[in-house]
Amino acid sequence: MSDLPHEMQQHTYSIMYEVEGTHWWFAGRRRILESFLERIITELHSTDRKPRLLDVGCGTGANLEMLARFGEAEGVDVSADALAFCRARGLERVSLGAAEKLPYEDGTFDVVTALDVVEHLDDDLAGLSEMRRVLRKDGRALFFVPAFMFLWGVQDDISHHRRRYRLPQFLNTVRAAGFEIERATYANLTFFAPILLGRALMRVTGLRPASENNITVSSLNGLFGRLFGAESRILRHTNLPFGVSAICVARRVD
């Protein structure tokens, strides 16, 4: 297991592997991301080959399974433990590597995703610049990051996050890495108030679960996932003014 500072705590990967198929947050997020990816792939559509996609910080592989619907998907992660979970899912096109030094040639991919990854990096600009490097000209990057430092919670600590972003702050860094912004919005407005309240209560009471992913009401999991995922319909037409997370679609223009 790598000792790089932005790798998550080891137990977090096993919890993620167990829950990310069904937990409301992961399920809702995938529905939103699928909506964005459908539009990206439609705009990139090529009749002569399938698009190549790279998931940077692929974790235990659930998002990589989703990306495989859109083309030839590969994953890279700093953790050998995470990649072992990917292989347990039957995902073999995964490589060990850091976001700041990706093990790929220039201009290799049509789409690069970094889904709750950039916040882990000590040097987020270096990581974003590397993602731009491995994109082809006119390739797209899809970023999903946690929003607002006042929402900092246990999950940020155990995941070794370095920061949560305000959207303008994140977009400034994306532009500094050489991207052109195509779309940017907050997401997860639906659960903004409950998450804010829950994290405030944890700070007051000192409650520290092994992972916030363990905190869910199983009988309501499906309902919560559908509520969160329903934002995908809203986001097709408009941006959200705030939320627990932020989304950005960016383009390599040269």
CATH of the domain at 230: 3.40.50.150
Walk along the chain (254 residues) and give the pLDDT tens digit of each residue: 233 334 544 456 766 766 677 787 888 999 999 999 999 999 887 667 899 999 999 999 999 999 999 999 999 999 999 999 999 999 999 999 999 999 999 999 999 999 999 999 999 999 999 999 999 999 999 999 999 999 998 878 877 899 999 999 999 999 999 999 999 999 999 989 988 888 788 778 876 655 444 445 565 666 777 888 899 999 999 999 999 999 999 999 98
Alpha helices in 55-117 (DSSP H): 62-67, 80-88
Q: How far is CA 92 from the centre of its chain?
A: 20
Domains in the chain: how many in total? 1
Instruction: State pTM to two decimals.
Output: 0.87
Q: Is residue 110 part of a domain?
A: yes
Which neighbouring-strand residues pair with 114? 56, 143
pLDDT, residue 15, reads: 67
1 in a structural domain: no
Q: Which of 9, 254, 20 is nearest to 137 (CA)?
A: 254
Q: Is there a domain that residue 163 lies in?
A: yes
Burial code (b: 16+ CB inside 10 Å, e: under 16) for 145-157 equals: bbbbeebebbbbe
Range of the structural domain that residue 88 is part of: 10-252
21: in domain = yes
Whether residue 193 lies inside any domain: the answer is yes
* Residue 5, domain member (yes or no): no
Q: Is residue 36 assigned to a domain?
A: yes
- Provide the sign of the torsion angle of the four alpha carbons 131, 139, 38, 66, taken in this order: negative
pLDDT number for residue 25: 84
Considering the domain boundaries, does residue 168 fall inside one?
yes
